[in-house]
Amino acid sequence: MSVDASRATRLTKVFNNACKGQKLSGLAYVHFLQAICVQPSPATCLNAIVTSPNGITTFKNAICSDISPVFCNGLGAEVLAYFSSPDLTAIAGGDFLRRVCEAVVDPPVFWDSFITAFKNGNLQVKAQRTFATFLLRLLEILLPDAVASYRELARDPDIITPLLNSPEADIHDVAARIKAIADPFDIGFSAARTQDGPGGRHDNDKVDFRRIAIVPTIQEIRCKKMPFLRASDELEDPVTKKTRLLDYLDSQFRLLREDMLYEVREELNTHLNQKRMNSCAIDFLALDDVRYEPRSRDPRRYPWAICLSSIVDFPQLARVHNDYHARKRWLDDKKNRNFIKHQSSVLLKVDDELLTLANIHRDVDYLALNPPVIILQIQGAANISRALLRLKLAKRISIVPVFLPLFAYEPVLKAIQHTSHIPLEEELLNWSPSDPPSLVDNGTESLVDALLRNPTRDLRTILDIPISVRLDKSQVDSLILGLTQKVSLIQGPPGTGKSFIGALLAKSLYDFSSGKILVVCYTNHALDQFLEDLMKIGIPSSEMVRLGSKSTPATEPLLLRNQGYSYRRSPDEWDTINFYKERIADCDYDLEHASSQFMNTTSSLEGLLDCIELHDERFYGAFRIPERVDDMRVIGVNNKAVDSEYLIRRWDQGKDAGVFRNEPNVVETADVWRMSVPARQNKLKSWRERALQEQIHKITDMVEKYNMYVRALDSMFAAGRHEPLLHARIIGCTTTAAAMYREALCDAGPEVLLVEEAGEILESHVLTALSPKTKQLILIGDHKQLRPKVNNYLLTVEKGEGYDLNRSLFERLILKGYPHEALSQQHRMRPEISSLVRNLMYPDLVDAPSTSSRPDLRGFQSNIVFVHHEHPEGELKDLQPEQLGLDVGRKSSKINHHEVEMVLKILRYIDQQGYRRDEVVILTPYLGQLRALQTALKDTNDPVLADLDNADMIKAGLISSVVGGTSKAPIRLGQSFTCYLDNYQGEESDIVIACLTRSNDRNDIGFMFAEERLNVLLSRARNALIMIGNSNTFQNARKGKEAWKNLFDSLKAKGHFYDGVPIQCERHPSHKKILRAPEEFDQHSPNGGCLKLWCAGTIRLFCEVRGLTISSAERGYGADTNARLHATTLSTIRRCHARRFHLGNARKVML
């Protein structure tokens, strides 16, 4: 609405006065609606309407004040269009916009007229557009229970058909989205493949994926029916194009959640073993309250929870003291934080039946009580209702700690449920090979022109970078692609510098555009490396913010919590905060009253009669005491007058009607009185449950509102903490953090999303990292390396069922033919190693000149070694549950003891050659083998585990979370190709020792059949690669043997294949040995050389200058067999005692 400044001022005054409580009527309502339309900020206007005392009421009265076609085409439509901005859905989680939409349709005075005008063809194009947009908004933003009627409206042919047939393209597009939401499963799937569509299999199987509770129900976990899942090729079917967006979101949600459920079922199946469950259960609990209120003066508000009191004290606390403060100190002690761990998952068990999953809210003020009280948070209205009902009638209550992965899935799943629009939808979902890639306008045109004119120029002349950079052709092409296309894919084989190109792209966009860039990586380690690269290349740290809690010393200043900011809230924001506080206080008051009523409700027969009267008239007739006309009282047993519960009490006791057995109402209901005692008890139980249901329904409604306002208040306070994101040019986070901080990132509005190692990231994770303002997506990765990690093999590409959950967006687009560039020159591996990778995956890969001068591996006959053996593998069985409160693991894993012993000797031998221990990494495919290596190395070198390896071992139960947090020494253990996390992709090391682990007569190599895993295995080493395994098992494998056979043929042809470890003495190269057993290292090379006098002394001296005493060196390196040799060099050793010489200097002293 266009008005002059003076009128806008007058209208604003009307608006403000109305929000403050001034009553309006007649023409004033028109002025109020006009005032809304002239407000410069829809967000501020929406906030004022919702948070002011009379804003919503005034708005509701105003919009219903006129129902004429003129109003529907004019001011009414203009007001609805004013609130159609997508940005408004981010305010308070969409709650404010929802309240305004509800005011329009309830009461439906204006809305019905608007619908009628549309059906009768009385709406002009502009109003039609508003009608369609508002209907879509209702379907997207209203709560699930309220949206059903609008879905029916959207299915009305008189509504959807004219919208779909509109000549206006934007109206048609909105109509397609309406149809997809209103009737998402009418087309686009094969009934045979999807088991007849979604819904009805269990209590959490919904047609609309947005109504599915993230936390699974027990019934769902136990359901044996195949879930509704779409195959990936259905989304490429042209028939599904009209509903593709919603089908895509539905598919991503269901597949990811099914992967989560696989882990949940695996964990819970273990707990269904009664002995296992009882061993770790917290038993003898009682319902204390269905409302949690912190005992301390904590200003924060927490989600609704229940209180379970322990009938007996916990043994751990009983040993402390009876003193409350002493118990609190014990609970607050850092080493005891895992006792009743905060936010840990538990199974709620009532009367020997698993009821629901819940989370612990660790409040030490309650835990320190004697007896202790546990605070339990339950999610989902259905789970809450079921829990309250059963808890109220329970005879025995317990909780069972379980390790569940919900925290890793929940943010992404919630983000998908709240997604209604995908930026770059045409490129990501609808692109076909006949379409040219869309170009982006980002301000880098002059840089692209300069690169095209002179591709070999030094980038330091056009980019503000501190180093000289000249790119090869593939790098230039990749850089230009990343700067020009809306969606760009850059493939980087191992060692080709993918991250470097990513850093150059970020620097280019930083220098030549003003947009914000969101950098997303899968792991914290990769993210920190990339951010460090950005700082090295010249982007100031003051322009970057890192989300999450982990960091390196270099990236710690970038953490959000370390950003200095002085955020001052506006008066409108304080009004909103106060509004939420008031609503929370109101809800809390209602909850307190309802909870008290619920807790005090008894299962008296008198209360049951009221319920029976309303819901079971026949039984009520059987229990009704006949009225007497003579005012005489009827006397029962013991000469006591009968009361109103006399009949139902006798029925409950299994007796007949007593003194009323001949009364007409009893005779007429003889079948009721003939019921068996068990049948009567079951009926009484159902009445008691029904009597409680009404109270429970009220409580669950209150809980839903209370939690909604708590989340909204948290969001308001978080806006202040997230304020630095609004000013940063570069925001870095992991994929999980991108989902957790989604609302803050949407507010920050990054225009560019740059994804590192995109080939190992699930498509759903990239999807949730997109913000409404994203106009450019850069994916850097390699689809020929490891795919994203999933748990459920049924959902993988390898299984072949068509679900393809572990196919990344990067791989999907490349396989579809989307234009991309590939880097071609590797800078990591020595040529002998890169030739293995080239033969396997990358025929066009070339070696950079710098790789030809890599040093040889000292002490070995070859820089590439495969050690063949035939010692069988074993299995590391489930560990016993840890003590109460610690993480409980469940999984078993493969182990090969011979390889562990050989690797230990190889590692010691490498150490004796003078290599630093941080130059070596040990890779293994199995957590069991990783654990065995860690244990074996612990005596001399406490291994440093990568974060993801550590987390995987904790989850598998191989180490506890306490032990997992303590490691300090320099040996690195990683997993490059594991079935759990594939953690070492993107990493490299000078020397790689790889344990293949598998060795069996069945020729079973498990998940190692995949060429992508072999690719990662071969491409991690810079200078030397040592592998140990049973080649027969791999080259005769039932699946994947071709790649392994080709590898072994190549290794044999080039002399790299051995039946032991091929060592040679560095001082006496002619002295060579093949060591086939661990004990042979001590026999033939106890000190890292040969047995000649000066050679042994030299290595002996090296031990001394490393800081060992003579005696400890002898113990550590098995030198007792050569003790006589040390006497001849004793004087030299003493001269070097306590001096830290390099090996070369030590040799000079000796010689």
- The set of residues, in sequence order, having a beta carbon less than 8 Å from that of 121 and lying 6+ positions away, is none
**Whole-prediction pTM:** 0.79
* Residue 107 preceded by cis peptide, ω within 30: yes
CA 1062 centroid distance within chain: 46
For the chain, the structural domain boundaries read 5-183, 265-417, 438-567+729-826, 572-718, 860-876+885-1078, 1086-1150
- The set of residues, in sequence order, having a beta carbon less than 8 Å from that of 394 and lying 6+ positions away, is 287, 350, 351
The pLDDT value recorded for residue 1037 is 94
The pLDDT value recorded for residue 147 is 66
- In CATH terms, is domain 438-567+729-826 a member of 3.40.50.300? yes
**Per-residue pLDDT tens for 869-891?**
999 999 876 543 332 232 333 45
Q: Give the CA-trace dihedral at 679, 684, 687, 689, to 10 degrees.
A: -100
- The set of residues, in sequence order, having a beta carbon less than 8 Å from that of 323 and lying 6+ positions away, is none
Kind of pairing between the strands at 1072-1075 and 920-923: unpaired
461 is written with which tokens?
């002349």
- The set of residues, in sequence order, having a beta carbon less than 8 Å from that of 627 and lying 6+ positions away, is none
For residue 581, the tally of other CB atoms under 10 A from its CB is 15
Length of the chain: 1151
Question: CB of 836 within 8 A of CB of 1018?
Answer: yes
What is the Cα Rg of the chain in Å?
36
Cα 255 to Cα 262: distance, rounded to the nearest angstrom: 11
Q: What is the CATH number of domain 860-876+885-1078?
A: 3.40.50.300
Q: How does DSSP assign 455-515, residue by residue?
A: TTS-GGGTS--SS-----HHHHHHHHHHHHBSEEEEE--TTS-HHHHHHHHHHHHHHH---
Q: How does DSSP assign 44-87, residue by residue?
A: HHHHHHHHSTTHHHHHHHHHTS--SHHHHHTHHHHHHHHTT-GG
Taking the chain (1151 residues) in runs of 10, the rounded mean pLDDT of each run is 78 86 85 90 85 86 91 93 79 78 90 92 92 88 68 87 88 82 51 59 87 88 89 86 87 95 81 59 90 79 92 86 86 89 90 89 92 92 88 89 84 89 92 92 93 93 90 95 96 94 96 94 92 94 93 93 80 82 90 89 70 82 80 71 84 88 89 91 84 86 89 84 90 92 89 95 95 94 92 92 95 95 95 95 94 94 96 73 32 84 92 87 86 78 46 49 42 40 73 93 90 92 96 93 95 96 91 94 88 54 42 39 38 39 39 34
The pLDDT value recorded for residue 1136 is 41
**Would the CATH topology of 438-567+729-826 be identical to that of 860-876+885-1078?**
yes
Cα 478 to Cα 455: distance, rounded to the nearest angstrom: 12
**Per-residue pLDDT tens for 344-380?**
889 999 988 888 999 999 999 999 998 899 999 998 8
The pLDDT value recorded for residue 683 is 87
The pLDDT value recorded for residue 320 is 76
Q: Give the CA-trace dihedral at 56, 57, 58, 61, to 10 degrees.
A: 120
> What Å distances lie between residue 925 and 194, 968, 974, 989, CA to CA?
34, 23, 9, 17
